[in-house]
């Protein structure tokens, strides 16, 4: 996590420098808001089974680039298409174990077991698609924006970590995770910092993940800050 926070701080510093450099481009009549982006989110699990709960702070880190494609003469309406990567952790009390090459799901009884860590983490390549409205001009870098859209993610790796007084259990590449994860996005703000929301539309785990003979249909909600670099 320290590595991600350091990179995030570097991006903030780069932004102030890059905006000064980009002033030489203000003479162009046509411009695009092509942007690198970085985001930090607090990750929630939606539609959890009744006895599953989250604990601790579940974080997400998101980085990428979006190509801006204006669709009107004033260039304040645009489509955005990009590519990015993200890592997302979820601290909760759902225990995942592998028995005879099958994954078993159960809820941790924390009154009997002293658990120091129980989380799963996903790593995705993401393709965001946005409908963009802003009040920017070729010479104005601080402006209002509302970007709404859809994000498609492809899972490239996943892990679980469980540590307790009775031992530890770490797994990777669990086949029950959905390879495709997608949802709606919204970024709203002024200037550099913007409120960001991701609302997952499909479950993190597929139908083969069962808890008490019921599918675990948990979906992701990510709430945080989005940082854009021109």
Q: Is the pLDDT of residue 118 over 60?
A: yes
Q: Is the pLDDT of residue 24 over 80?
A: no
pLDDT of residue 31: 76
What average pLDDT does the chain have? 87
How many Å apart are CA 210 and CA 171, to the nearest integer? Answer: 17
pLDDT of residue 29: 58
Average pLDDT estimate for 83-111: 93
**Residue 117 burial (CB count, 10 A):** 13
Structural Rg of the chain based on CA atoms: 20
pLDDT of residue 172: 94
Q: Is the pLDDT of residue 227 over 70?
A: yes
Q: What is the pLDDT of residues 182-194, one digit of tens each?
A: 999 999 999 888 9
Average pLDDT estimate for 48-54: 92
Share of the chain above pLDDT 70, in %: 87
> CA nearest 152: which of 206, 47, 81, 88?
81
Q: Is the pLDDT of residue 18 over 70?
A: no
* Cα-Cα-Cα-Cα dihedral sign, residues 113, 116, 122, 128: positive
How many Å apart are CA 52 and CA 46, to the nearest integer? Answer: 11
Average pLDDT estimate for 64-91: 94
pLDDT band at 74; cut points 50, 70, 90: confident
Q: Is the pLDDT of residue 106 over 70?
A: yes
Share of the chain above pLDDT 90, in %: 67
pLDDT of residue 10: 47
**Residue 177 burial (CB count, 10 A):** 18
pTM assigned to the model: 0.85
CB 107 within 8 A of CB 211: yes
Q: Mind listing the domains of the chain with CATH numbers?
A: 2-27+35-229 (2.40.128)
Averaging pLDDT over each range in 80-84, 96-100, 140-144, 165-169, which range is the top one? 80-84
């Amino acid at each position: 996590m320290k590595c991600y926070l350091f990179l995030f701080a570097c991006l903030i510093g780069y932004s102030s420098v890059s905006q000064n450099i980009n002033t030489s481009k203000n003479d162009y009549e046509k411009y695009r808001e092509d942007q690198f982006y970085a985001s930090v989110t607090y990750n929630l699990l939606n539609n959890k089974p009744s006895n599953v709960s989250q604990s601790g702070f579940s974080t997400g880190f998101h980085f990428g680039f979006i190509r801006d494609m204006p669709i009107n003469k004033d260039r304040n309406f645009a489509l955005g298409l990009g590519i990015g990567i993200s890592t997302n952790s979820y601290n909760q009390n759902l225990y995942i174990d592998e028995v005879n090459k099958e994954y078993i799901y159960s809820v941790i009884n924390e009154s009997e077991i002293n658990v120091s860590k129980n989380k799963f983490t996903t790593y995705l390549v993401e393709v965001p698609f946005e409908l963009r409205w802003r009040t920017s001009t070729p010479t104005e870098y601080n402006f209002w924006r509302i970007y709404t859209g859809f994000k498609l993610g492809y899972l490239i790796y996943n892990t679980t970590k469980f540590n307790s007084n009775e031992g530890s259990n770490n797994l990777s590449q669990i086949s029950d995770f959905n390879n495709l994860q997608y949802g709606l996005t919204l970024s709203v703000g002024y200037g550099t910092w913007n409120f960001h929301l991701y609302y997952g539309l499909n479950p993190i785990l597929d139908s083969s993940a069962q808890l008490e003979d019921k599918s675990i249909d948990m979906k992701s909600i990510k709430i945080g800050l989005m940082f854009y670099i021109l």
